[in-house]
């Protein structure tokens, strides 16, 4: 109540979305993602009274952990990572229903024990429950987990009923088109597509969801959302951090796999998709797939549509940091990119001739994720450069992190006796309008999976379409080795090749 009084925009929002009695099983329960995101997400959903009355949390992992110890680990995770302080009253509602099952991911008898444990819960409460399996493990064990869920009968539990079993699969969803297809085959041998929720946490962020609202709920934007009024679109996902202790993992991934193919392409799909016929999950996902299929194959090689680079030594926050090749676990002749920039062309009626520029990198000037819609400049008949005016292009930007919100750059007259113009920024920030304690992305996504809303999840054909675009790039880079690899100083906004990608069309990167 106090929160609603402080922030009147929050008044009247629903606090219950109809999840049936649910058991959430987390595979990889002792992992970092579970501690940092999943346990706090469950706790905050409980704090907001969004969990069903009959809710149970079951951890599963190779390491034997007594139930009491797992509850202690969960308590510590909430205290350290939750957006809210630990409330003993709230945790007391979850703790007695939190348990742990130990077993290997390729251990069929352990999955049978898990099935028996869930059956005991149903017997205890006298009701059937839906089971939500969250696979938060390295991708190497995705297949054994999926196959054992099928062999134990857990995947088919209550199939055909409203509370059927569901599975959430964390990224990376494959490492190229072939592996993505193989994983989809494995999934479909065990689960129906409507049971599957491929997660990309970017889709749970408030500003990403707000993108659809801004486009389709405001008449001042949608009529302009096309080639007639938009000059270009830029999507930036920049990180300040380097690879740190994750050098071994990053050598097998690289920027294109780690950020561009998934997070950045999801932002593009929501920006460029056609209006869906409804907000039904399949209607939205149909339009996302359509626009991805309309993207033209990338031109590779010199003067192509792709640039890549590695960060070199530089300064970050006044401190000297090493280059990528000097980081631990990195091969001296590594051909793994820490920065990638892409120029995309969408061959459909709405976007023909409008370039979409994507970039992502580590050790960049600052941490920021944003979508910038650059509108065409007005005719220079009234306010021309010859007349002493230098009008800025109108730009609508959606900032996804760290400070969620949006801004619009418009030209305005400077007060005074002369007519002079200056661009100004009109901004909206979630923290200012609604308070800083907005839900984390995983809270929204876990809740949506529980109630069966797949809108913010990735469908199998969508993942394959995205990989189909980028697998030729990965194959080309692998064949080239370090040939064509550029570099950029840590703390900068990227390499010259990334800038040149835009200069060919008379554009330049916006500095967020």
Could you say which of 158, 263, 476, 507 is catalytic?
263
Mark out the alpha helices in 158-226 (DSSP H runs).
177-188, 206-216
Residue 12: left (phi > 0), alpha (psi -120 to 50), or beta?
left
User: Which string of DSSP letters, residue by residue, matches 396-465?
Assistant: EEEEEESS-EEEEEEEEEPSSSS--EEEEEEEEEHHHHH-S-PPPHHHHHHHHHHHT--TTSB-HHHHHH
Mark out the alpha helices in 158-259 (DSSP H runs).
177-188, 206-216, 247-255
143 by DSSP, 3-state: which?
helix
308 by DSSP, 3-state: which?
strand
- Three-state secondary structure string covering 332-383: CCCCCCCEEEEEEEECCCCCCCCEEEEEEECCECCCEEEEEEEECCCCCCCC
Burial (CB count <10 Å: 0-12, 13-18, 19+), residue 135: buried
What pairing do the DSSP bridges indicate for beta strands 98-102 and 130-135? Answer: unpaired
What are φ and ψ of residue 84, in 5° steps? -115, 155
For the question of residue 7 being annotated catalytic, the response is: no
**Helix %, strand %, coil % for the chain, to 5?**
40, 20, 40
Burial annotation 57-72 (CB, 10 A radius, 16+ → b, else e): bbbbbbeebeeeebbe
Residues serving a catalytic function are: 263
């Amino acid at each position: 109540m106090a929160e609603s009084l402080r922030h009147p925009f929050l008044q009247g929002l629903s606090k219950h979305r109809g999840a049936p009695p649910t058991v959430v099983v987390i595979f990889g329960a002792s992992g970092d993602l579970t501690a940092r995101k999943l346990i706090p997400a469950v706790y905050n959903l409980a704090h907001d009274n969004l969990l069903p009355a009959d809710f149970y949390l079951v951890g599963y992992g190779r390491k034997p952990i007594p139930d009491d110890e797992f509850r202690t680990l969960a308590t510590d995770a909430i205290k350290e990572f939750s957006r809210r302080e630990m409330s003993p009253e709230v945790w007391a509602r979850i703790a007695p229903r939190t348990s742990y099952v130990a077993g290997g991911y390729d251990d069929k008898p352990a999955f049978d024990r898990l099935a028996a444990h869930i059956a005991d819960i149903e017997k205890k409460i006298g009701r059937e429950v839906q089971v939500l399996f969250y696979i938060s493990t390295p991708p190497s064990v995705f297949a054994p987990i999926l196959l054992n869920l099928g062999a134990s009968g857990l995947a088919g539990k209550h199939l055909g009923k409203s509370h059927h079993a569901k599975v959430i699969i964390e990224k990376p969803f494959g490492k190229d088109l072939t592996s993505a297809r193989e994983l989809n085959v494995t999934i479909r041998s065990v689960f129906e597509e409507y049971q599957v929720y491929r997660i990309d946490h970017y889709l749970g962020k408030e500003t990403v969801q707000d993108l659809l609202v801004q486009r389709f709920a405001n008449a001042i934007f949608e009529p302009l959302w096309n080639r007639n009024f938009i000059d270009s679109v830029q999507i930036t996902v920049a990180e300040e951090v380097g690879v740190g202790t994750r050098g071994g993992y990053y050598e097998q991934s690289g920027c294109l796999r780690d950020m561009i193919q998934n997070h950045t392409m999801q932002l593009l799909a929501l920006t460029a998709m056609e209006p869906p016929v409804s907000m039904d999950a399949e209607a939205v996902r149909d339009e996302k797939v359509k626009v991805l299929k309309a993207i033209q194959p990338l031109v590779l090689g010199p003067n192509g549509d792709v640039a890549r680079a590695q960060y070199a030594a530089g300064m970050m926050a006044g401190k000297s940091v090493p280059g990528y090749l000097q980081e631990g676990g990195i091969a001296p002749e590594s051909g793994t990119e820490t920065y990638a920039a892409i120029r995309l062309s969408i061959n459909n009626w709405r976007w023909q001739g409008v370039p979409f520029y994507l970039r992502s990198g580590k050790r960049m000037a600052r941490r920021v994720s944003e979508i910038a819609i650059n509108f065409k400049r007005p005719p220079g008949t009234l306010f021309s450069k010859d007349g002493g005016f230098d009008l800025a292009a109108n730009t609508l930007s959606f900032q996804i992190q760290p400070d969620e919100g949006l801004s619009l750059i418009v030209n305005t007259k400077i007060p005074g006796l002369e007519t002079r113009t200056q661009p100004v920024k009109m901004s909206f920030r979630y923290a200012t309008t609604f308070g800083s304690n907005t839900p984390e992305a995983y809270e929204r996504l876990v809740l949506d999976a529980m109630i069966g809303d797949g809108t913010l999840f990735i469908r199998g054909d969508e993942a394959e379409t995205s990989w189909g675009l980028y697998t030729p790039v990965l194959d080309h880079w692998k064949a080239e080795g370090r040939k064509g690899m550029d570099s950029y100083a840590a703390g900068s906004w990227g390499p010259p090749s990334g800038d040149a990608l835009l200069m060919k069309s008379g554009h330049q990167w916006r500095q967020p």
